[in-house]
Amino acid sequence: MSRESELFQHIRARNYTAALKLAQQTPDLDVNALDKDHCSFLMAAIQTSHQGEGQPRYDLIEFLLKHPQFAHANTPLKGRVTVPFQCALTENDPKLIEVLLAHQKTKPMEVLYRHKKLLYAEQAQRITDTLETLQVRDNPILAMNLPKKEQILALLLHNTVHIALERDDTTLLQGLVDAGAKLYQPLQDGTYPLDLARNQPNSHAFRWLTQYINDYILSHSVTLMAAKNLALTHQAREQDLITKFTDTTRSRIQATFKFFDYPPSSTGGSTIPVPQAGFKPGNL
């Protein structure tokens, strides 16, 4: 049996520790080997259940994606169009998605679309379908996987927004909104899309997001009132800070230059003492 066939067996048996050890200890391993179904090591690792050895599975996937010769990060099975990343979305495994996305710039993989439909929109639909099913009947497995689906949706949103800003692609942003994304809310890491776009104030994306936020505020009276109140609060706070800063600065100046404390002149002239006749600067 070849080393490649042995590696496929370990992966399908979910023995990821042995699979990783074999891959690491076989320098001449053909990392681009495919089985009879045109399945790569990566696709096999994604398709097998991650129950059991979680971290070794991720480590094996990382090993493949970091390998300089690995060329199947975007290869589907024979006769199919679903690539590894798209297959991973159905695994309800946020950690797996994080691992794959971490290598999207070094290994070509489709992380935006499938059949011209945003992967974000597909994931949002999965969540909607799950919620509708749970309203009709109890399903412990669906209920357990729902938070994982939502975590994956947040990862997709974060990644897609960043790609849209990098490409200055407003079509991507509009597609997210059409799929239900709320771009006025913070992303997974707490950053706001509009704040991220401020680095490129002349970009189409920045102008689009600015208009999007303005339209949202104007169409929601409660939000508009909150925005106005927030602006007034900031204005009052700003004025208070200016006043305090001015008072503090004046006190420091008066403490430094004592001539500010001289009583007002009865003639209305300068209160600064006049030097004596014959006084020359530097004479002490």
Does residue 163 form part of some domain? Answer: yes
User: Which of 173, 169, 190, 189 has the alpha carbon at shortest distance from 181?
Assistant: 173
DSSP 8-class letter at 194 = H
Q: Which residues pair with 117 in a beta bridge?
A: 114
Count of domains forming the chain: 2
- Give residue 284's pLDDT band: very low, low, confident or very high (50, 70, 90): very low
**64 plus 136 within the same structural domain:** no
Does residue 267 form part of some domain? Answer: no
pLDDT in tens, 186-241: 999 999 999 999 999 999 999 999 999 999 888 876 666 676 677 677 677 777 77
44 by Cβ neighbours in 10 Å (0-12 / 13-18 / 19+) ranks as: buried
Q: Report the distance separating Cα 213 and Cα 2, nearest Å.
A: 59
**Residue span of the structural domain in which 166 resides:** 112-219
**11 plus 62 within the same structural domain:** yes
Least confident of 159-168, 174-183, 247-256: 247-256
Does residue 253 form part of some domain? Answer: no
Q: Going by DSSP bridges, is the β-strand pair 117-118/113-114 parallel, antiparallel, or unpaired?
A: antiparallel
**90 plus 74 within the same structural domain:** yes
Does residue 196 form part of some domain? Answer: yes
pTM of the entire structure? 0.77
pLDDT in tens, 261-275: 555 545 544 444 555
Least confident of 5-9, 81-85, 165-169, 277-281: 277-281
**7 plus 91 within the same structural domain:** yes
Does residue 259 form part of some domain? Answer: no
User: Which of 79, 84, 78, 1 has the alpha carbon at shortest distance from 44?
Assistant: 84
Does residue 139 form part of some domain? Answer: yes
5 or 79: which leads in pLDDT = 5
- Asked which of 219, 247, 262 is the last residue of a domain, the reply is 219
Q: Report the distance separating Cα 114 and Cα 110, nearest Å.
A: 8
For the domain that residue 4 is a member of, what is the CATH number? Answer: 1.25.40.20
3-state secondary structure of 115: coil
Least confident of 13-27, 79-93, 254-268: 254-268
Does residue 249 form part of some domain? Answer: no
